[in-house]
Amino acid sequence: MTWLTAFKDKKIVVLGAGMTGLSCLRFLHAQNLSIAVNDSRVMPFSSEAELAQYQIDFPHATFIFGQWDQALIANADIIVASPGIDLDKEGITTLINNNCQLIGDIELFCLVNNRLPTPMQMLAVTGSNGKSTVVSLLAHLAKKLGVNAVLVGNIGEPILDLLVTTNSAEQPELVIVELSSFQLETLTSMKAIAASVLNLSDDHLDRHKTLAVYQALKQGIYPQAQIAVISREDKATQSLVAQQSTISFGLSKPESGHFGLALISINEAEEAKQTLMFGEQALIALDELPLAGMHNALNYMAALALGYTAGWSLSAMTNNLAGFTGLAHRCQRVSSEDGIQWINDSKATNVGATLAAISGLAPTLNQQNKLILIAGGDGKGADFAPLVPVLNSQVSQLITLGKDGSEIAALANTTNKAIEVNTLAEAIEQANKIANRGDMVLLSPACASIDMFKNYMVRGEQFIASVTQLQVASNVNEKANVKKDTKEAACR
């Protein structure tokens, strides 16, 4: 890897000893480079024994924990920063000298990949919501179509491990990368076949400060791709790169060469159905696909458009869409026997995700059924005002919890006053009292989970466990009542 000769005799610092930082360590150490790994946590490893093993396995590395080493950072020639570290908030930005090269793991991969004899091709996806679903669907389609593809970035394996664990004969044909705004802060050298900003809404403003800054970071993906895959539903996602080739997707009937929806019937005897379209070509009816809601219709179209740019067969992709059943904690139906639809959308960590869930799921309910929303957590400085219209028109009852639960509760109108609780278990208990058969209880917090849980997965798992426990308790009570009735009947 001739490009890495520029790293020789340089002072290289990896900031962060989490999953990303350690993948940077593995890659750089494999190139016989000396590295310092700095983390503000006293012990980022699970134990002293694990640290000792790393020190044995990586003799060219120095580990400095407990605080950010100001002298180390100030004298660095190259800094590889983990995306989860807010360099401004941590006071690191002001320490970095003007000649220092600041990069992230994705950028490091691209710099090396671009100089390989046969670079790995890339498809890149970002956006506020739906990106994990879209990239996972792409990975599913790739497998079904026999394409050797890997999923990396914000989901999947660390991208630099592709350069450590594979030789040129084993390297994948395609790298599908999910990119967060944090990763985009240090990315400028990607050369993707296509890239997409799926949607934009307030998120991570505690770090990016303004929506304009956040949007600019997301838009930065397009100059690093040949083709822009854009949403007609959100102007903020559209490419600003002059004369860039684009493919669009949206909920309207599409023009030739683009993706959309149309209400069509296969024959006169059948009722017209909402159908995925490519221009005038009907692909598949939405009711034949497992992921419900219009937000998921957009996800399907985005994946098809990205696959199309990679040269995949439209018919082959369409035939394999139904085999993808979605991801955990994304509008995930929880098994129940009470006739209530319990939906775990714990991954909805921002306002846009919750709006998408409500807008996508509410139309599936009959007019007499209620939608009960459980929301709240750490809003990360987001504006909750966009929730007001759906709270007042589509949500029958709002239940809130967490750090910013009261702020969300204040948005409910006086005739539909919110119920404020302290725990998720309490929220589920309250929802169960209100809900009847056919109603929907939706956990879609519009907030991060860090004020109450380790992460959104734990929050979602607790929701599932609590709902399951309700079913068990209900069955026990039902059996007890049957026993009691039988005993009373025998005594008559």
pLDDT tens-digit map of 424-439: 999 999 999 999 999 9
**E-strand spans in 155-293?**
174-178, 192-197, 225-231, 245-249, 259-264, 273-278, 281-285
Whole-number Å distance between alpha carbons of 184 and 40: 23
- Output the six-digit token pair for 24: 């940077």
**pLDDT above 90 (res 196):** yes
**pLDDT above 70 (res 205):** no
For position 427, what pLDDT does the model report?
97
**pLDDT above 60 (res 480):** no
**pLDDT above 60 (res 279):** yes
H or E stretch covering 136: helix 131-144
**pLDDT above 80 (res 168):** no
CATH number of the domain to which 180 belongs:
3.40.1190.10
Same domain? 299 vs 338 = no
**pLDDT above 50 (res 176):** yes
For position 482, what pLDDT does the model report?
43
392-403 pLDDT per residue, tens: 999 999 999 999
Whole-number Å distance between alpha carbons of 295 and 347: 14
Cβ burial 89-122 (10 Å sphere, 16+ → b, else e): eeebeebbeeebbbbbbbbbbbbbbeeeeeebbb
- Asked which of 57, 85, 103 is the last residue of a domain, the reply is 103
CATH number of the domain to which 401 belongs:
3.90.190.20
3-state secondary structure of 172: coil
Nearby residues of 74 by Cβ (< 8 Å), 6 or more positions away: 95, 96, 97
Split at pLDDT 50, 70, 90, the class of 479 is very low
For position 167, what pLDDT does the model report?
65
Nearby residues of 388 by Cβ (< 8 Å), 6 or more positions away: 411
- Output the six-digit token pair for 411: 């948005």
Same domain? 39 vs 154 = no
3-state secondary structure of 402: coil
pTM of the model: 0.78
Instruction: For residues 244-263, give the mean pLDDT.
Output: 96
Same domain? 277 vs 146 = yes
Instruction: For residues 312-323, give the mean pLDDT.
Output: 96
Instruction: Give the lowest-confidence range in 105-109, 274-278, 415-419.
Output: 415-419
For position 483, what pLDDT does the model report?
42
For position 441, what pLDDT does the model report?
96
For position 100, what pLDDT does the model report?
96
For position 181, what pLDDT does the model report?
85
3-state secondary structure of 274: strand
Percent helix, strand and coil across the chain, each to the nearest 5: 40, 20, 40
Stronger pLDDT, 231 or 287, i.e. the higher one: 231
Contact between 228 and 246 (Cβ < 8 Å): yes
Stronger pLDDT, 483 or 232, i.e. the higher one: 232
Q: Tell me whether residue 200 is in a domain.
A: yes
Same domain? 207 vs 228 = yes
Q: Tell me whether residue 189 is in a domain.
A: yes
Q: Tell me whether residue 16 is in a domain.
A: yes
Nearby residues of 96 by Cβ (< 8 Å), 6 or more positions away: 73, 74, 76, 79, 87, 102
DSSP readout, 294-322?
HHHHHHHHHHHHHHHHTT--HHHHHHHGG
- Asked which of 327, 362, 388 is the last residue of a domain, the reply is 327
Whole-number Å distance between alpha carbons of 329 and 463: 10
Q: Tell me whether residue 222 is in a domain.
A: yes
Give me the percent of the chain exceeding a pLDDT of 70.
92
Contact between 439 and 340 (Cβ < 8 Å): yes
Stronger pLDDT, 138 or 329, i.e. the higher one: 138
Q: Tell me whether residue 481 is in a domain.
A: no
CATH number of the domain to which 84 belongs:
3.40.50.720
Q: Tell me whether residue 3 is in a domain.
A: no
Same domain? 115 vs 211 = yes
Instruction: For residues 149-167, give the mean pLDDT.
Output: 86
Residue whose structure tokens are 């219209």: 389
Stronger pLDDT, 45 or 167, i.e. the higher one: 45
Same domain? 193 vs 174 = yes
Same domain? 370 vs 418 = yes
362-391 pLDDT per residue, tens: 887 888 999 999 999 999 899 999 999 999
Q: Tell me whether residue 2 is in a domain.
A: no
Find which of 72-76, 197-201, 207-211 is predicted with most confidence, using mean pLDDT.
Answer: 72-76
Nearby residues of 33 by Cβ (< 8 Å), 6 or more positions away: 4, 7, 8, 10, 12, 60
- Output the six-digit token pair for 100: 């220092």
The chain-wide mean pLDDT, for the chain, equals: 90
Q: Tell me whether residue 344 is in a domain.
A: yes
Considering only CA atoms, which of 91, 90, 72 is closest in space to residue 34? 72
The residue range of the domain holding 163 is: 106-327
Residue whose structure tokens are 């807010």: 86
Catalytic residue numbers, as ranges: 131, 154, 204
Give me the percent of the chain exceeding a pLDDT of 90.
68
Same domain? 420 vs 282 = no
216-240 pLDDT per residue, tens: 888 899 999 999 999 999 888 888 8
Same domain? 134 vs 183 = yes
Residue whose structure tokens are 């849980």: 453
Same domain? 423 vs 463 = yes
Domain count, the chain: 3
For position 290, what pLDDT does the model report?
81
Whole-number Å distance between alpha carbons of 330 and 459: 12
Whole-number Å distance between alpha carbons of 402 and 307: 40
- Asked which of 51, 74, 103 is the last residue of a domain, the reply is 103
Same domain? 197 vs 54 = no
Same domain? 338 vs 275 = no
Find which of 61-70, 128-137, 474-483 is predicted with most confidence, using mean pLDDT.
Answer: 61-70
81-103 pLDDT per residue, tens: 998 899 988 899 999 999 999 99
How many angstroms from the chain centroid is the CA of residue 74? 34
